[in-house]
Structure 1
Amino acid sequence: MTTQQMLDDRYGRTRSPHARAWAWTIGVVVAVIVGALLIWMAWGSTSSSVDATATGYEVVDARTVTVSFQVTSAHDSGVVCVLEADDEDHGIVGWKVVHLPASDQHTNAYRETIPTIGVATTGLVNACWVE
C-alpha cells in the first residue's frame, strides 16, 4: 500500500465501488434526459413551422394588388397569413389577414387581393403561422 492510499484510508477519502456505480448511473440518466429534451425541442419547433413564399404579384389599379403565394406546412390544420402591399418607398399601403383552411397536401398555392390606400409597387407575404 502506498503512502497516498494509507492517508486516503485514514482520513476517509476513498470511494466505495457502489458510489462510483451510482455516479455513473446518475450521469447516464441525466444524459438520456437531456438528449430526449433536445430531440423533443427540435421536433416541436419544426412541426409547427410554416413556410410561405410570394410567387408573384399584380398591381390591378391604384387601390388593388393581387398577391400569389404558396404555403408549406407540416400540419393538417389551418394557417393564418398576413399579406402586405408596399409603395415605392417601402411603406405599407395595404395589408390583409388571410385564414387558410386545413389541407391534406404539404404545399398549397393561393391568390388573394389586397385593398390599398395608395399606389402599390409590390405585394408580399409578411408572416404565416399555424392557427
Structure 2
Amino acid sequence: MTTALELDERYGRIRRGRTPWIIGIGIVTAAIIVFGWMTFTQSMNSVDADDLGYEVVDEHSVTVRFQITGGQGKDVACAIQALDAEFGVVGWKVLEIPAAGEHSQQLTVTVPTVAEATTGLVNTCWVA
C-alpha cells in the first residue's frame, strides 16, 4: 500500500510547516514598526505656518505677520514671499528663527521688493 508521504515525494508535493507563516508575520511586524517610526520622526520635524496679515509699507517693502507651530526646541527657517497683482513673486526672504521653548510663536518680518507688492505670505517653513 502506498502512503501519503510516498505519494507526496513521487508527485513533488511538499508538506509545509509553520515556518513560512512565522517568517511572514515577522516581516509584516517589522514593516509596521519601520512605518510607525518614520511617521513619528516626520511629525517631530514638521512646522506649520499660518498667515495673520500683511501691510504694504511702500513700493519697495511689505510687512508680513505670521504664526509658526511646531519645531519646539529646534531652529526653524521660513521662506516669506511678496506677490504682485498677477501673483508674480516680487520679493523673497528666508527668515531663520532660533530655537524657542514655546510650541507656537508669532513673528513679523519686512520683505524687500523689486516692485510694488499686493500681498505677502509665508511660502513654507522647515526645521533648520
TM-score by length of 2: 0.88
C-alpha contact 2:60 2:113 (8 A) present in aligned 1: yes
The aligned amino acid for 1:88 is A
2:8 aligns with: 8
C-alpha contact 2:65 2:108 (8 A) present in aligned 1: yes
2:27 aligns with: 30
- Structure 2 distance, partners of 1:61, 1:74, is 33
- Equivalent positions of 1:59-78 (< 5 A) are 59-78=56-75
C-alpha contact 1:48 1:75 (8 A) present in aligned 2: no
C-alpha contact 1:55 1:68 (8 A) present in aligned 2: yes
Runs of 4+ more than 3 Å apart: 1-6, 9-12
The number of residue pairs the alignment matches comes to: 128
User: C-alpha displacement at 1:13, in angstroms?
Assistant: 2.2
User: C-alpha displacement at 1:115, in angstroms?
Assistant: 1.1
- Structure 2 distance, partners of 1:71, 1:78, is 12
What are structure 2's unaligned runs of at least 5 residues? none
1:119 aligns with: 116
The aligned amino acid for 1:122 is T
Alignment root-mean-square deviation, CA: 2.2
Q: Percent identity?
A: 45
Distance 1:64 1:20, change over 3 A: same
User: C-alpha displacement at 1:20, in angstroms?
Assistant: 1.5
What are structure 1's unaligned runs of at least 5 residues? none
Distance 1:12 1:92, change over 3 A: closer
- Structure 1 distance, partners of 2:2, 2:57, is 92
- Structure 2 distance, partners of 1:35, 1:94, is 44
